[in-house]
Structure formats: structure tokens, C-alpha cells
Amino acid sequence: MPARPGFLRRAARPAAAAAAFAVLTLAASPVFAADLVVSAAASLTNAFKALAGQFEKSHPGTKVVLNFGASDVLMQQIVKGAPADVFASADQEAMNKAEQEKVIAPASRKNFAANQIVMIVPADSKLGLATLKDLTRPEVKRVAYGNPSSVPVGRYTRDALAAEQLWDAVAAKGVPAQNVRQSLDYVARGEVDAGFVFATDAAVMPDKVKVAVRVPSRTPVTYPIAVTAQTGQAAAARVFVDYVLSAEGQAVLSRYGFLKP
């Protein structure tokens, strides 16, 4: 296989390096006492920006500071001491790890949204990909998906492809991304022939990507949220979690394509 361009080599950098950089970035950023730091999965970017804005309007004096990234990377940031009051993950495995590391309050853990895995292609693709098996065709050279070792969408993708006995063939063409939005960007820019993202991510760029396959997931794609164990604002953090679970918060998530958990 020909050498991959620089952007692909950069995409393969270890998640640990990204976590370390993010910890330093957060540490260097001014976070004030009234700030509520919410670390949330990259797929929640648009929805949580809108949700945080509404929360601030109804809770004057509280500013929500959002930190987005791959769920496992966010969890490692919290373990390493990065400031965070609330953690929202794109799968149960990342939250399970957080609970095992004792960095969340288990009693505060709740499922707040659901999603679906989709295979997307560039909007102008002429390959006619319509099934997962089509990814094994020789004209398909590169396929983007989240790194399964640190990105929930990657784990869902690996399991779905393994169930169809396609994982090894697709992984040979794989371009592991550091988070789901990076996978989306690769497809949107036409740097890969196909990619796997959440349905809500595909909806962000309807003019750049199109859904080729809705992928059945062996594991329900549910999102948990929890208050961190280290927070100095437990009461405010619980109020934010309750807001996400409220009818108003759920309406925002629904507007961005998320389903009920």
C-alpha cells in the first residue's frame, strides 16, 4: 500500500499524547470558581453548545466551560487531574472505566441520549457504496473510523464489522481517527472513500457527506453522564445533569438528532 499522506500519519498519534496536551491546555486556561467544566464526547459538540447556552440563560452567574474530545481521552484527562465537574461519554465502556478509576460519583450516573452508527461517503462519491461488504471492493482504498482503543464510535464500528466478518478486511484500509469529528472531516474533505460516524455527526454536514448505510449495532448506542468525584461544585454539577435529563434539555438533544436513551 502506498505511503499515506501526512494527515494520516498525524491521525495515528497515540491518544495518550492528545490527553496530555489537553490536560496542559485546560490547566493553562482560566477556569473560575463559578465556571462549570463539562467534558463531553465530540459527537455532542453542537448539541451541548446549544444546551449550555440555554442553561446559562436560566442559571445566571454560572458559565459552562465545554471540553470536547474522544470519550476515553476525556476520561484520562480527568484521571490525570484536569478540571471537570461533569463527564458525558458516547458509550458505556468509557464511563465504566471512569467508574473503575473512581473519578465519577456512581450514584449520579444516568443515560441521557441514544444514537446510531452510519457509514458515510463524500457527497460527490461515484463509487456507489450501498453495503458494508462494498468496502472490500478494490477501488475502496481508505476508510475512516474512530480508533477503537480510545473512541466509542470506533468500538461500535469494529463490533459491527466483526459481526459481518469484515473487520480485518476494512481495518487493512483503515484510517483511525482521534475522535468522531475527525472521521467526519476526512470524509467531508474527500480524503477517504468512506467513514463511520454517528448519525448526528453526518447531519452536521449534509452538503459534504451522505449516509450510505445505517449500521446495525450489536450494543445499544447510549450516552451516560455523571458528576465527577473531584468536583468542588457538586450541587451545581447535579443541576446541570438534571437539566440535560429534563424535558427542555431533551428537546435540545432531539433537535440535533439524538434519540431517547
Complete DSSP assignment for 48-59:
HHHHHHHHHHHS
Q: How far apart are CA 243 and CA 235, in angstroms?
A: 12
pLDDT of residue 21: 44
Rounded to whole angstroms, the Cα distance separating 119 from 210 reads 9
- pLDDT of 61 reads 87
DSSP E strand stretches across 70-132: 86-88, 110-114, 117-122
Q: What is the DSSP letter of 257?
A: T
C-alpha cell of 47?
448539541
DSSP state letters, 180-216: HHHHHHHHHTTSSSEEEEEHHHHTT-TTTEEEEEEEP
Q: Strand 35-41 relative to strand 86-88: parallel, antiparallel, unpaired?
A: parallel
Exposure string over 160-189, b if 16+ CB within 10 A, otherwise e: bbeeeebbebbbebbbbbbbbbbbbbbbbe
> What is the pTM for the complete model shown?
0.84
Q: What is the pLDDT of residue 10?
A: 44
Q: Please give the pLDDT value at position 173.
A: 98
Low-confidence ranges of the chain (pLDDT < 50): 1-25, 27-33
pLDDT tens, position by position, 49-68: 999 999 999 998 899 999 99
CA gap 113, 127 in Å, rounded: 33
pLDDT at residue 218, as a whole number: 83
* 159-184 pLDDT per residue, tens: 999 999 999 999 999 999 999 999 99
